[in-house]
Amino acid sequence: MTISNFDDLLQVARQQAQPQRLLMVFTCAELPDDGTPEQRREFEAGGGGALVPAMCADKSPDEIENFAALKRESGQFQSPWHVVFVAALSGADNTAPGSSDIEQTLDRMVESIKLGALGNMIAFDTSGSAIMLEGP
């Protein structure tokens, strides 16, 4: 199945034989301190910028009704997010992944985002559509 939106990912995760955790890193767009005047204009017009991790979350697929519910819940952030990066972590022997595995994986995701190494995650925009982003 092709995952074209967050709800597709939920459906696939719910069908897996082993318990899954969806690990999410919500990012905000920021203008780098060394941004050029052209980058500053583009950013002020609503484009460009660097994606900076703002908050992490992990949930089982059953804890998320759909993308609309996730977006409502994420509306509690102090600043709005622009892209959420998601990875699935599978359990074993019908046991969900442990908290240390979840924490380590979220830490690796945050570092990967900072480095622009985005290949092991699916990025979704604020409408829940899967998007393709390129690293530096």
Per-residue pLDDT of the chain (136 residues; tens, 9 = 90+): 689 999 999 999 999 999 999 999 999 988 878 888 888 888 788 777 789 999 999 999 999 999 999 999 988 876 789 999 999 999 999 999 999 999 999 999 999 999 989 989 999 999 999 999 865 5
* The total number of structural domains that make up the chain: 1
Residue 98 lies in a domain: yes
Quote the tokens at residue 136: 């530096």
So what's the pLDDT on residue 72?
A: 92
Residue 65 lies in a domain: yes
Residue 136 lies in a domain: no
pLDDT at 54: 93
The answer to whether the beta carbons of residues 20 and 87 sit under 8 Å apart is no
Identify whether 64 is part of a domain: yes
Q: Are 118 and 135 in contact (CB under 8 A)?
A: yes
* In-domain check, residue 45: yes
| CA Rg value for the chain | 16
Instruction: Give the domain range for residue 88.
Output: 6-131
In a domain, 66, yes or no: yes
pTM: 0.89
Q: What pLDDT was estimated at residue 136? A: 55
* Best CA proximity match to 24, nearest among 9, 36, 4, 44: 9
Nearest to 21 by CA among 54, 62, 56, 55: 62
pLDDT of residue 27: 95
> For residue 50, is it within any domain?
yes
In a domain, residue 102? The reply is yes
Distance CA 30, CA 56 (A): 17
